[in-house]
Amino acid sequence: MEFSHKAIEQKWQKYWEENKVFKTTNNSSKKAYILDMFPYPSGMGLHVGHPKGYTATDIISRMRRMQGYDVLHPIGWDAFGLPAEQYAIQTGNDPAIFTLKNIDHFRSQLKALGFSYDYVKEVNTSDPSYFKTTQWIFEQLYKHDLAEMREVDVNWSADLGTVLANEEVLVIDGKMVSERGHFPVVKKPMKQWVLKITNYAEKLLAGLDELDWPDSVKELQRNWIGKSVGAEIKFAVENRPEIIDVFTTRADTIFGVEYIVLAPEHPLVDVLTTADNKPAVAEFIKSIENKTELDRQDTSKEKSGVFLGTYVINPVNNKKLPIWIADYVLPFYGTGAVMAVPGHDERDFTFAIKYHLPISYVIAGEHHNNVYVKDGKHINSEFLNGLDTKSAIEKALEVLGKKNIATPKVSYKLRDWLFSRQRYWGEPFPVIHWEDDSISLVDENDLPLTLPKVDNIKPSQTGESPLANVSEWLTVVDSMGKKGRRETNTMPQWAGSCWYYLGYLLKQEDGTMLDIQSAEAHALFKKWLPVNLYIGGQEHAVLHLLYARFWHKFLYDIKVVPTSEPFFKLVNQGMILGEDGTKMSKSKGNIINPDNIIQSHGADALRLYEMFMGPLEASLPWSTKGLDSARKWLDRVYRLAKNTNFITVNDGTLDYAYHTMVKKVSEMLENLNFNTAISQLMVFINACYKNEEQIYQPYWKGFLKLLSCFAPHLAEELWFMLGHQHSISLSAWPDYEEKFLVLDKIVVAVQVNGKLRAKLEVKKDTSEDELLMLAKQHSNVQPYLENRQIIKEIIVKNKIVNLVVK
């Protein structure tokens, strides 16, 4: 007997909505803020990957509600973004309008999956009532000197007349080209907004220790921040006033320095290049213009460089060392200059071989004319001789420190965050550039600064955003007649997602948003923060999560939020791969559309199947067979409900099965072990089937509550079938009793002369006499007793009967 998922699912979705069953409550001292990474509402709609994480959070939200928590489980839309901009440019459509259409489509898809979101809390990052606060936060960052304009290299495509995001640039044959059309891309300096996330490097590192996040994600963040403890050492240029500061983690190798390398972008390159070396240097600099940083760092790629014609003097031994520039030295790390020790550093070694530079060794070992990177006693190093690396670093810093040649220094790989995009479809910067070169912010009371309506979004051809074409919007005149121009850049998509988990809290029932600084907002932050569980894709392990932590820590410092971290527990769900085991993609034709599955098998089956595939974190291939089985099992549950007699006096037969299920499922859900929890539900249903059409009703209700997390529509249907008048979500989570967790029946082994001959399934604590009798009568035992004499009977209650015969 099958149930009609179409009828059931729509019926309950309507009921939940009309009765506001999932409204955020505020009547408990326990709270659970359960957050999904909100989707970008693309024109393609939801894919089957979305429901995986979303079902997981839905299960936990439903459980927490039944456990008496106040639950906040919201959803919203990360609605600014590049695809919308491109679509608008190509088709002339208004992104504000088609984005709303896409959102409607996404929302109806999510509703069809039966997620228990409180849609009152919905936010849309592209809505002015939302980005008013994004702009306000930017203004605070500016006022706290964490936002500034800098000349920064951007990816410029002259053919497309536009600046491209890193994601839109490919490297083909070592050259940067645009993803669209494969046009050449070069670096071009432009004035850009930068957020000084590096000021928070230390806090962002330290905060990781208090978080319940996967170690792999913490490690990725640590590496991204890339703290490195070392020193800056000064090298004076020969016969000139300039000093070159290098950053090194290996001050101990100072006697092994053979040359100095500057990043080609280093400000001293020009002055330190002699006249006859200028052409070669200029040519070299041009040659690396279209190399990405990743390429430059890649150790497998050949390093190249040129000599500037000038020298420095090594402060410890007055040795004259040539100054080079090379691609492998990066401008924004450390000081953008290194002391090269080819004897003991891999990259310096390859470079020295290529350009026939001398190589010397300052650490004892078997060098074999190769680079030597092991630890060892220092040699050829005067006051460092005989010391190992650690002590030699300390000693070198002590000696050079006294002479003011070296200072301890910490460097971070983390860069300040390039915060401008040359786009229309983003948050406008609330900034005016005046004709006298001053900058001012739009008054906080005048926020939001909205986007002008534009009929046809076109690139500006100058590298500025399409907003540069909208002169009515662009031009500002102050009360004194001074002319100004609005900032034409907009913020990157990351901005809106940096604080949306606060946005949900600000969202009011009447559709408005609270002021982030209001007392009401503060009370809500106090109640709900930090987010208890945050589930989303691994692809956001670094950027989104680091940026959001940065803003949160800033808001904490300015006393807007009461916690120093936004997301206490984080889990990355794995991907759902195509049936062929590869990533789903249009070109491979292996995409599964959730709408079709909802039609054919139902949302409950889809949810159950995605949770049963395997551990949440694993990436696993889709299997239609697996989906069919999920649906069949739901039918099995439905059949049972229809054909069973629900009894009100407990006959005890399901005690063990029921209480074990409740205990295990509760524990497994705490640990997000959804697939094994489902197995427990299955074990219980098997026990019910064995029980010949008779189930103690309270146990059935308890089962339905657990089931309602996974298959909410069917569970609700069966719940109301029992005569209930209110949603199962409003009922209390089932308890288990310890005393029922031991199986009543146990297995007792029967041995004859030490050999296992039978197993008795008996009631626990069966008497020794009875055990002996049952053992002797057992058909597998009897043949071994025939014509024999029993000389010893050893009986251990609940365990074993051992007969010795001769």
Cis amide linkage into residue 466, ω under 30° from 0: no
Within residues 671-700, the interface with ligand ANZ by CB under 6 A covers none
Nearer to ligand ANZ, 289 or 628 (CB): 289
Within residues 212-231, the interface with ligand ANZ by CB under 6 A covers 228
CA pair distance 102, 608, nearest whole angstrom: 27
**Residue 344 in contact with ligand ANZ, rule: CB under 6 A:** yes
Within residues 605-634, the interface with ligand ANZ by CB under 6 A covers none
Residue nearest ligand ANZ by beta-carbon distance: 228
Residues 6+ apart with CB under 8 A from 793: 772, 801, 802, 803, 804
Nearer to ligand ANZ, 389 or 490 (CB): 389
Nearer to ligand ANZ, 336 or 594 (CB): 336
Contact 23, 658 (CB under 8 A): no
Cis amide linkage into residue 430, ω under 30° from 0: no
Q: Select the residue interacting with ligand ANZ from 22, 255, 333, 424 (CB under 6 A).
A: 333
Q: How many residues does this entry show for the chain? A: 806
Whose tokens are 């990781």? That residue is 208
Nearer to ligand ANZ, 221 or 253 (CB): 253
Q: Is 628 helix (H, G, I), strand (E, B) or coil?
A: helix
Report how many residues bind ligand ANZ under the rule CB under 6 A: 19
**Residue 357 in contact with ligand ANZ, rule: CB under 6 A:** no
Q: Select the residue interacting with ligand ANZ from 48, 112, 123, 341 (CB under 6 A).
A: 341
Among the listed residues 74, 62, 70, the one whose alpha carbon sits nearest the alpha carbon of residue 107: 74
Q: Select the residue interacting with ligand ANZ from 116, 155, 221, 253 (CB under 6 A).
A: 253
**Residue 266 in contact with ligand ANZ, rule: CB under 6 A:** no
φ, ψ dihedrals at 107, nearest 5°: -60, -45
Nearer to ligand ANZ, 329 or 555 (CB): 329
Whose tokens are 């064995």? That residue is 690
**Residue 352 in contact with ligand ANZ, rule: CB under 6 A:** no
Min. distance of Cβ 244 from ligand ANZ in angstroms? Answer: 12
Contact 525, 511 (CB under 8 A): no
DSSP-assigned letters across all residues of 384-422 = GTT--HHHHHHHHHHHHHHTTSEEEEEEES---EE--B-
Q: Select the residue interacting with ligand ANZ from 52, 64, 132, 250 (CB under 6 A).
A: 250
Min. distance of Cβ 247 from ligand ANZ in angstroms? Answer: 4
Side-chain half-sphere CA neighbours of 130 within 13 A: 27
Is 191 known to sit in a ligand binding site?
no
Q: Select the residue interacting with ligand ANZ from 55, 248, 273, 666 (CB under 6 A).
A: 248
Whose tokens are 């220790």? That residue is 209
Give strand ranges (E) for 705-797. 745-752, 755-763, 790-796
**Residue 296 in contact with ligand ANZ, rule: CB under 6 A:** no
Whose tokens are 């029946």? That residue is 745
Min. distance of Cβ 235 from ligand ANZ in angstroms? Answer: 12
Strands 169-172 and 162-164: unpaired
Q: Select the residue interacting with ligand ANZ from 41, 334, 463, 712 (CB under 6 A).
A: 334
Nearer to ligand ANZ, 373 or 730 (CB): 373
Q: Select the residue interacting with ligand ANZ from 322, 336, 430, 496 (CB under 6 A).
A: 336
Whose tokens are 């009309």? That residue is 18
Q: Is 746 helix (H, G, I), strand (E, B) or coil?
A: strand
Q: Select the residue interacting with ligand ANZ from 249, 304, 350, 360 (CB under 6 A).
A: 249
Nearer to ligand ANZ, 332 or 764 (CB): 332
**Planar angle of CA 288, 289, 291, nearest 5 degrees:** 60
Contact 495, 134 (CB under 8 A): yes
Stretch that binds ligand ANZ, among 136-144, 322-330, 402-410, 623-631 (CB under 6 A): 322-330
**Residue 378 in contact with ligand ANZ, rule: CB under 6 A:** no
Min. distance of Cβ 387 from ligand ANZ in angstroms? Answer: 15
Q: Is 641 helix (H, G, I), strand (E, B) or coil?
A: helix
Q: Select the residue interacting with ligand ANZ from 12, 247, 349, 638 (CB under 6 A).
A: 247
Q: Is 434 helix (H, G, I), strand (E, B) or coil?
A: strand
Among the listed residues 252, 564, 485, the one whose alpha carbon sits nearest the alpha carbon of residue 380: 252
**Planar angle of CA 438, 443, 445, nearest 5 degrees:** 175
**Residue 330 in contact with ligand ANZ, rule: CB under 6 A:** yes
Stretch that binds ligand ANZ, among 90-98, 106-114, 181-189, 329-337 (CB under 6 A): 329-337
Min. distance of Cβ 367 from ligand ANZ in angstroms? Answer: 13
Position 577, amino acid = L
Q: Select the residue interacting with ligand ANZ from 141, 260, 316, 329 (CB under 6 A).
A: 329
Query: What CA–CA distances, in Å, run from 658 to 718, 736, 745?
Result: 18, 8, 15
CA pair distance 366, 343, nearest whole angstrom: 12
Min. distance of Cβ 330 from ligand ANZ in angstroms? Answer: 4
Contact 466, 92 (CB under 8 A): no
**Residue 176 in contact with ligand ANZ, rule: CB under 6 A:** no
Q: Select the residue interacting with ligand ANZ from 85, 127, 345, 610 (CB under 6 A).
A: 345
Nearer to ligand ANZ, 331 or 452 (CB): 331
Nearer to ligand ANZ, 123 or 246 (CB): 246
Min. distance of Cβ 418 from ligand ANZ in angstroms? Answer: 18
Within residues 386-415, the interface with ligand ANZ by CB under 6 A covers 411
CA pair distance 78, 42, nearest whole angstrom: 10
* Binding residues vs ligand ANZ (CB under 6 A): 228, 247-250, 253, 263, 328-330, 333-334, 336, 338-339, 341, 344-345, 411
- Please give the annotated binding residues, written as ranges: 586
- Please give the annotated binding residues for ATP, written as ranges: 586
